[in-house]
Amino acid sequence: MAELTPPPVRRIALDADPTVIPPEEAINGNGHASAVRRPEAPRPGTVLERMRVEELSVAYGSKLAVNRVSIEVNRGEVLALIGPSGCGKTTLLRSLNRLVDGTASAARSGRILLDGNDIDFIDVTQLRRQVGMVFQQPNPFPMSIFDNIAYGLRERGSRKPSKRALEPAVHSALHRAGLLEEVKDDLQHPALRLSGGQQQRLCIARSLAVQPEVLLLDEPCSALDPISTGIIEELIAKLRTEIAIVIVTHNLQQAQRVADRVAFMYLGDLVEYGAAEQVFEAPQAMRTRDYVTGAFG
């Protein structure tokens, strides 16, 4: 049964980005290490700016949800957006792939650049392929596991690639999301039969399948148990060398475990922004200090 060994992780040459470092060898699919290690500090030279947010404001009608926020999103780093609920984290995240544009009442101003290009001048399909998103509630499509992962690839062109042609990409995406070992014999099973944690990793794999440069995660673990949460945090630590990751969380321990950089938001304002150690250990602003020491939130 030679097919059962997972194929080597390889980017599809067609879409390969010359600046992308190949993913680390052999992500072990079942890694159930219970204690999540803090990721090692990124090697110098591997941090690369991918997105830059300049003076972003978003209002729903007259209600300002994000107020003149400027941040950068770098490959090789995990950026955590923290803050009490309703402070605009999701709105900021959904601005990065222009998903807020689908909300009729939302008005966005300021600039967001992806690799130096204003996202308002990038074709939105292209943008959303480069900036993938995983939602708070796992949302696998009501299809087979295989079809879920292949969805983005099939919708890419007018010509539908054959199942066989898609197989390597599907396997590779599942492997990168650490799910391949668990599901490789059940690729035709309904995705909705997976457990919550598996569903969320499936959604991560579905995003990874279209080779994004940036991955947005909106409270990806809030619906999951601690073990699944640990698995996903470990996955994030591994993925951060390949792609830029932005994770929204209102779980401070989680931010502390996975983030290299932290942005603390409060009522739409960016209150504090910097390296994780600095924000957690030596916060500059009073409100950050109160929040990270648990005075409110």
Partner 1 sequence: MSATREDRRVGLTLGALSSLVLLLIAGMIFFVLEKAWPSFSHNGLSWFGAKGEVDAQLTEIFNSPADPNNYVYTIGAWPLIYATALVTFLSVALATVFSVLSAIFIVEFAPDRLRRVLEPVVRLLAAVPSVIYGLIGILVIVPFVADHFVTEGARESVRFVIQLDGTSLAVATAILTVMITPIMIAIIVDALRTVPQGWTQGAVALGVNRWRAMRTIAVRTARPAIVAAAVLASARALGEAIMLSMVSGSVGFAPNPLDGYIFLLEPARPLAATIVDNAEGLSVVPFGQTLYAFAAVLLVSTAMLSLGGWYARRALRKYTVTR
Ligand X SMILES: Nc1ncnc2c1ncn2[C@@H]1O[C@H](COP(=O)(O)OP(=O)(O)O)[C@@H](O)[C@H]1O
Distance CA 249, CA 228 (A): 15
Stretch 68-127 residues interacting with ligand X (CB under 6 A): 83, 85-91, 103, 105
Which residues fall within 8 angstroms of residue 71, CB to CB, at 6 or more apart? Answer: 52, 53, 79, 263, 270, 273
**Least distance to Mg ion, CB of residue 175, Å:** 30
Most distant pair of Cα atoms in the chain: their distance = 62
Told to check if 133 binds partner 1 by CB under 8 A, we report yes
Q: Which residues bind Mg ion (CB under 5 A)?
A: 90
**Least distance to ligand X, CB of residue 20, Å:** 29
Told to check if 223 binds partner 1 by CB under 8 A, we report no
Which residues fall within 8 angstroms of residue 78, CB to CB, at 6 or more apart? Answer: 39, 236, 237, 240, 245, 246, 247, 258, 259, 260, 261
87 contact, one of partner 1, ligand X, Mg ion, none, CB 5-8 Å limit per kind:
ligand X
Distance CA 269, CA 291 (A): 14
In the complex with ligand X, which residue's Cβ is closer, 8 or 86? 86
Considering only CA atoms, which of 224, 238, 217, 264 is closest in space to residue 97? 217
Distances (CA, A) of 144 to 6, 149, 164, 191, 199: 19, 9, 15, 5, 12
**Least distance to Mg ion, CB of residue 220, Å:** 11
Stretch 82-101 residues interacting with partner 1 (CB under 8 A): 97, 99
Stretch 137-156 residues interacting with partner 1 (CB under 8 A): 137, 139, 141-144, 151-152, 155
Six token digits for residue 254: 């989680």
Stretch 15-74 residues interacting with ligand X (CB under 6 A): 60, 63, 65
**Least distance to ligand X, CB of residue 265, Å:** 7
**Least distance to Mg ion, CB of residue 253, Å:** 18
The number of beta carbons lying within 10 Å of the beta carbon of residue 235 is 22
Distance CA 86, CA 154 (A): 36
139 contact, one of partner 1, Mg ion, ligand X, none, CB 5-8 Å limit per kind:
partner 1
User: What residues line the site for partner 1 (CB under 8 A)?
Assistant: 97, 99, 102, 124-129, 132-133, 135, 137, 139, 141-144, 151-152, 155, 190-193, 203, 206-207, 210
